[in-house]
């Protein structure tokens, strides 16, 4: 899933594996980007309940998750969490 804009949805993008790249998800009440395994790269998630949630193992690189109730959630072990902005 590449280069989408998702605004004002309960949950933005929910992927089971694969690659989620270059998306902008904002103003949702639930999770902006959720992935179960796979790769999340160069996405932005703002003003959601949860910015980015990953079920490990997964690769998360160069994402920005700010202004969410919870910015980043890693479930389990084995996630590669590199160069993400998620204070």
Going by pLDDT thresholds of 50, 70 and 90, the confidence category of residue 74 is very high
For 76: left if phi > 0, alpha if psi spans -120 to 50, otherwise beta; the answer is left
pLDDT value, residue 60: 98
In angstroms, the Cα distances linking 38 to 2, 24, 30, 47, 76 are: 14, 18, 20, 24, 14
Q: Of 36, 45, 43, which is closest to residue 79 (Cα–Cα)? A: 36
Per-domain boundaries in the chain: 5-63
Cross-strand partners of 60: 40, 81
Q: Is 0.85 surpassed by the pTM of this model? A: yes
Q: What is the pLDDT of residues 4-56, one digit of tens each?
A: 999 999 999 999 999 999 999 999 999 999 999 999 999 999 999 999 999 99
């Amino acid at each position: 899933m590449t280069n989408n804009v998702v605004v004002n949805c309960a949950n933005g993008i929910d992927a089971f594996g694969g690659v989620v790249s270059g998306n902008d998800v904002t103003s949702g009440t639930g999770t902006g980007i959720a992935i179960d395994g796979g790769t999340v790269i160069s996405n932005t998630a703002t003003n959601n309940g949860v910015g980015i949630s990953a079920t490990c193992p997964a690769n998360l690189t160069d994402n920005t998750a700010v202004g969410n109730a919870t910015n980043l959630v890693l479930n389990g072990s084995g996630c590669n969490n590199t160069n993400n902005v998620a204070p």
